[in-house]
């Protein structure tokens, strides 16, 4: 699709696909397939605040680091809270892997630099 970025990872009968638009503010969808049938999906939208656009690389590098810290009970997003130097990442969520929603935010001191909303769950037909 024109204007999208797409990431894929295949392992045996499973395929993970993430398709998204944008960078400073972005929106996308992740889907996990088994034997070409969708089983799980998550949609998301968010990004950096306009006043910190020049710091996008720093904010997104911190976010990528925070997203690596996942729990077995909530493997679909990052740590509930992570701090490093002046940055704070918080992920508030409710629900389980079958149906969930949440918000992640990044602050430096009292300045909110980034916010994203997400929701998803098991696909049923």
Domain boundaries, the chain: 4-122
CA distance 118 to 63: 15
Question: So what's the pLDDT on residue 31?
Answer: 97
Going residue by residue through the chain (125 aa), what tens digit of pLDDT does each one get? 788 999 999 999 999 999 999 989 999 999 999 999 999 999 999 999 988 888 889 999 999 999 888 877 767 677 889 999 899 999 999 998 899 999 999 999 899 999 999 999 999 98
* Residue (of 46, 44, 45) closest to 31 by Cα position: 44
Q: How far apart are CA 92 and CA 71, in angstroms?
A: 13
> What is the Cα–Cα distance from 80 to 83, expressed in whole angstroms?
10
Q: The tokens of 33 are what?
A: 């397939």
């Amino acid at each position: 699709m024109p204007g999208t970025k797409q990431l894929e990872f295949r392992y045996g009968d499973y395929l993970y696909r993430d398709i998204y638009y944008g960078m400073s503010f972005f929106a996308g969808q992740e889907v996990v397939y088994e034997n070409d049938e969708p089983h799980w999906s998550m949609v998301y939208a968010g990004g950096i605040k306009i006043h910190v656009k020049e710091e996008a690389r720093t904010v997104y590098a911190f976010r990528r680091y925070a997203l690596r810290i996942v729990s077995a009970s909530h493997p679909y997003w990052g740590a509930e809270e992570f701090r490093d130097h002046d940055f704070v990442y918080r992920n508030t969520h409710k629900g389980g892997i079958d149906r969930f929603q949440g918000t992640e935010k990044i602050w430096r001191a009292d300045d909110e630099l980034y916010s994203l909303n997400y929701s998803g769950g098991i696909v049923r037909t």
